[in-house]
Amino acid sequence: MNAASKDDLKEVAQRVLTCPVGGHHDAFLLLSRVGDAESIPYLLTGLRWQPYTGKGDVMVCTKMHCLSALRRITGHDAGRNYSDWAEWWASTGSKIPRTAFPLDEERQNK
């Protein structure tokens, strides 16, 4: 039996995030490792279904994994909640060339 490729893992994780319920925790973890700029809209969709976190509030680990994946892929920290990231993506992030994201650059140099 062959192990799943990184592209297979990415595709499955992205598919999981198209549903409001499911294995989001593991999908976020996988995309932290194998995600790229193509994964950002899926991560944003998954983040939309996470609870709002105010300053000083405790954050569930699932949401932390999503934010970690977004920060790693984009090299940017837009905040702790979907509204912050959605605003950044609409105004700035979606206009950045795919190859400009740090994780994609890191992969191209390997």
pLDDT, residue 101, reads: 85
| Beta-carbon count within 10 A of 70 CB | 27
Give residue 54's pLDDT band: very low, low, confident or very high (50, 70, 90): very high
Tens digit of pLDDT for each residue in 69-108? 999 999 999 999 999 999 999 999 999 998 888 765 555 5
Tens digit of pLDDT for each residue in 11-46? 999 999 999 999 999 999 999 999 999 999 999 999
| 69 neighbors 35 (Cβ within 8 angstroms) | yes
Domain residue spans in the chain?
Answer: 6-108
C-alpha 104/C-alpha 55 separation (Å) is: 31
Give pTM, 2 decimals: 0.90
Higher pLDDT: 63 or 107? It is: 63
